Chain A
Amino acid sequence: MAIRTQPVTVNLGPQHPSTHGVFRMRVMFDGEEIVDVEPVFGYLHRGSEKLAEERTYTQIVTLTDRMDYVSSMLNNQAYILAVEKLAGIEPSPRGVWLRMIASELQRIASHLVATGFLLQDLGALGTPLIYAMRERENILDMFEMLCGARITNSYLRPGGVFMDAPSEFWPALDRGLNDIVNTIDELETYLSGNEIVFSRTKGTAVLPKELLINASITGPMLRASGVDWDLRHRAPYDYYDRISFERKLHTASDNYARYWVRVQEARESVKIIRQCIEQIEPGEVRPSFDDVPRLIRPPVGDAYAAIEGSKGELGFYLVSDGGIAPYRMHVRASSLINLTLLRDMLIGGQFGDLFVTFGSVDLNMGEVDR
């Protein structure tokens, strides 16, 4: 005889340790099974796009830091590329190499955070997260050497970066890259072939690739379904056309595949940084203030520039009316758009998989709500 159950609606968040910020969901359960999910956004909405309309192009760099606050350098880069496209600024080569190094370090840090917290959500309390955070700490130390700030860097400027790397940065970077590879090896030894990780993540929240593309989902989530789409390769910006790297693909499109792709991408980023170090040459890190003044007045028009962020396609759409502040700024936030299929991933699943699936999406509430 079947046991009669009654659906129960549970409110999760916004203050919940596993929602990676202030995310809220109304979830309806039937026993252990999820029957309905309704995400509620906006708890961290600060109106960045409106604020940008009253700031100069250089000042807005500080706003972009605070969007996805675990990948500030990547936000800076996407924004700066849009400004350079809009105003027709030719960047300085050394500045471009430096910002590529910075953004790849940031990608490693972001993927480590995603991996560490995913394992925390899986119940591996503490240890993997501490390992991941220790490596991220080294990267933040390197950012401190580059620009004096650890999280909200504001390192990039239109045309390059605002300051050259100090001499002690290069040996620290070399040591740091070796440490990162060692940490990833350690993590992988214990986790990538771990029976418990397998049984909890394999075959859960599987998404077909046609659906992922239709829902505009990009980044590691898309590559975990076997679609070879990486903007660094398909639409190279900065000097990515002079870099060779492998795109790591997985075909399962489940929670394990998304975890695996991030770990492998962190390894590839180390290789990219090594190539940047080989190719960087001395020179100015940004054009002179005669060429690129502090108050930039781009010609009337609009520009959209996108980069491969740590979470997917991160794009900035800028409209200029010829003034010193943009007429309109829009951020194509990959964290928000990657949540489009949250219902499809969760409904029909078990309560225990909810936060694992949520962690495997890798979102940042600063970027979701802006």
Chain B
Amino acid sequence: MTTVWSGNALAEAIEAFAPGSVESSAGTDVWLKPESISTVCEGLKTRSEFKFDLLSSLTAVDYIDHFEVVYHLTSLPMNASAVLKSRVGHGRTEASIASVVPIWRGADYQEREVWDLMGIRFDGHPNHKRIMLWEGYPGHPLRKDYVTYDQSIASTAPGAAGSQEGAE
């Protein structure tokens, strides 16, 4: 059975080799400072006590006042898993974080997908382009403030709340 690292234990272990990189920890999650993501991931991959050689999943969540990038790591030799998170783009300004493609190539398409759909920039990504949608597509659909086609019709339909005709 896979060992799941507890947040506190992992935070302590990370602090031991990269002091000052952990923001907080709870449950099974560790929140890292965005600027230290490369150092910590490199350490988690190479150091003998972790050996996180496989990046299971990389995704992001829009929490309105900030974005959260979520990394699920797996260690094949230790049969262990861990969750890293990092908050970026406070105040919905330019959101960016260092790319982990130099550490795990498996992040390549996943980071492109996060950029395409969530609009978080990955500095140092070798091929930083959209993946699902075409270049020039307006906006990033998984953001919470993205207006879908259905919503745009509903808000301009006669009689709809907020439409000019309905207000008259």
Which residues from chain A sit less than 8 Å from chain B, CB to CB? 41-42, 45, 47, 49-50, 211, 213-218, 227, 229, 234-236, 241, 302, 304, 306, 313, 315, 317, 319, 327-328, 330, 332, 336-337, 339-341, 369-370
Q: How many residues of B contact A (CB 8 A)?
A: 32
Contacts of A49 in B (CB 8 A): 117, 142
Asked if B104 is at the interface (CB within 8 A of a chain A CB), the reply is: yes
Cα distance, A77 to B94, chains bound together (Å):
37
Q: A315-B72, A328-B62 are in contact. Are A339 and B83 (CB under 8 A)?
A: no
Contacts of B76 in A (CB 8 A): 213, 227, 229
Contacts of B61 in A (CB 8 A): 302, 319, 327-328
Cα distance, A273 to B124, chains bound together (Å):
47
Q: A215-B105, A328-B62 are in contact. Are A304 and B57 (CB under 8 A)?
A: yes
Which residues from chain B sit less than 8 Å from chain A, CB to CB? 1-2, 53-57, 59, 61-62, 70, 72, 76, 79, 81, 83, 104-110, 113, 117, 131-134, 141-142, 148
Decide if B109 touches A340 in the complex (CB within 8 Å): yes
Contacts of A235 in B (CB 8 A): 1-2, 79, 81
Contacts of A317 in B (CB 8 A): 57, 59, 70, 72
Contacts of A217 in B (CB 8 A): 106
Decide if B57 touches A45 in the complex (CB within 8 Å): no
Q: A49-B117, A317-B72, A328-B61 are in contact. Are A214 and B132 (CB under 8 A)?
A: no
* Interchain nearest-CB distance for A300 vs B (Å): 12
Contacts of B104 in A (CB 8 A): 214-216
Our pick among B53, B113, B148 for the contact of A213 (Cβ within 8 Å) is B53
Decide if A50 touches B141 in the complex (CB within 8 Å): yes
Cα distance, A337 to B56, chains bound together (Å):
10
Decide if B56 touches A234 in the complex (CB within 8 Å): no
Contacts of B54 in A (CB 8 A): 213-214, 216, 218
Pairs A–B under 8 Å by Cβ, sample size 24: A42-B133, A45-B133, A49-B117, A49-B142, A50-B117, A211-B105, A213-B54, A215-B108, A216-B54, A218-B54, A227-B76, A235-B1, A302-B70, A315-B57, A315-B72, A317-B59, A317-B72, A328-B142, A330-B59, A332-B56, A332-B59, A337-B106, A337-B110, A339-B109
